[in-house]
DNA sequence: AAGACATATTCTCGTCAAGGAATATATTGT
DNA sequence: ACAATATATTCCTTGACGAGAATATGTCTT
């Protein structure tokens, strides 16, 4: 899991853009209009998102339709999946770890 | 979905910390040691992660054991879930949208 | 209580990123 | 080709962030 993807999503305006594109692809102007962000900033944010592989462009007439790409989200999902196995283990492992945490010469009768 | 969580994870060192804690809780010093990051920076990063609700602390003796919290990850997962339904629809919806995208007076015989 | 150990905090500096405004660069439709 | 429209880019300023170094704040242990 690279931090680049998460960093791209970790900016309020960009997250809004992604949430908008979640519903349907949109051209730059309409994204700007719907979110109340000026067009240049939208272009910049889309640039970041594109470099991070989060979105892709499809030119249609004189506009550029931006849409989400599935890969980065699948990657995040896979990453999260590698956690899931551990949550149950974690619940008691925490106490286990707390107890066994390098208290070699110590006896717990405190 | 708030960008705060993603922003917290969108930093290389912090992501490494999270990946380490994925395996097991650890005290600050050991995190620093294992990742080769100086203790003060680790403390700072842990502070950010804690404020974002990604980790929590458990004082044990004179150290502070940091461990992951499940909630933020579940939140991300839920967010991703709201996408999944759309991926299949998206595949053809893209073309659909591209075609029907405000080309009212246009006929596609180009 | 003192000393040792673990962690947090402060300060400074350099860098990077974001917003605003203006402008450049297409690309289209007539 | 021209005017219009859509998007990208540049320049600037400002604020936030991260690393480094030094130091402060705890908190056991004896």
- CB within 8 Å of A42: residues ≥ 6 apart: A17, A28, A31, A32, A35
Whole-angstrom Cα distance, residue A100 to residue A92?
12
Q: Alpha helices of A1-110 — where are they, by DSSP H?
A: 3-9, 12-23, 28-35, 39-51, 71-100
Q: Name residue, tokens 């109340």.
A: A36
Residue B4 has pLDDT above 60, yes or no: yes
Q: pLDDT grade, residue A110 (50/70/90)?
A: very low
Distance C8 C1' – B50 CA (angstroms): 14
Whole-angstrom Cα distance, residue B86 to residue A17?
16
Residue-level pLDDT at B105: 40
For A3-69, CATH gives 1.10.10.10
Q: How many Cα atoms are found within 13 Å in the side-chain-facing hemisphere of A85? A: 7
Residue-level pLDDT at B83: 83
| Percentage of residues in chain B having pLDDT higher than 70 | 79
- Find the mean pLDDT for residues B20-37: 96
Q: What is the pLDDT of residues B39-51, one digit of tens each?
A: 999 999 999 999 9
Any bridge partners for residue B65, and if so which? Answer: B27, B58
Any bridge partners for residue A68, and if so which? Answer: A55
- Answer left, alpha or beta for residue A66, where phi above 0 means left and psi between -120 and 50 means alpha: beta
Q: What is the pLDDT of residues B46-83, one digit of tens each?
A: 999 999 999 999 999 899 999 999 999 999 999 999 98
Q: What is the pLDDT of residues A4-30, one digit of tens each?
A: 999 999 999 999 999 999 999 999 999
Residue A48 has pLDDT above 50, yes or no: yes
Q: How many residues does chain A have?
A: 110
Residue B107 has pLDDT above 60, yes or no: no
- Chain D nucleotides near the protein (CB, 7 A): 4-10, 17-23, 26-30
Residue B108 has pLDDT above 70, yes or no: no
Residue-level pLDDT at A93: 62
Q: pLDDT grade, residue A38 (50/70/90)?
A: very high
Q: How many CB atoms lie within 10 A of CB A93?
A: 17
Cα torsion B91, B95, B96, B97 to 10°: value is: 100
A17 touches strand C (CB under 7 A): no
- CB within 8 Å of B9: residues ≥ 6 apart: A3, A6, A10, B15, B18, B54
CB < 8 Å from A in window 30-69 of B: 58, 60-61, 63, 65, 67-68
CB nearest B76 (choices: A67, A76, A98): A76
Mean pLDDT of chain B: 86
User: To which H or E segment does residue B87 belong?
Assistant: helix B70-100
């Amino acid at each position: 899991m690279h931090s680049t993807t998460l960093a791209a999503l970790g900016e309020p305006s960009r997250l809004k853009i992604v949430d908008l594109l979640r519903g349907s692809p949109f051209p730059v102007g309409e994204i700007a209009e719907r979110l109340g962000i000026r067009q240049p900033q939208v272009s910049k944010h889309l640039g970041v998102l594109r470099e991070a592989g989060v979105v892709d462009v499809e030119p249609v007439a004189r506009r550029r339709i931006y849409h989400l790409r599935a890969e980065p989200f699948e990657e995040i999902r896979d990453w999260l999946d590698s956690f899931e196995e551990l949550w149950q283990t974690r619940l008691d492992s925490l106490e286990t770890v707390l107890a066994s945490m390098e208290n070699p010469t110590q006896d717990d009768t405190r």
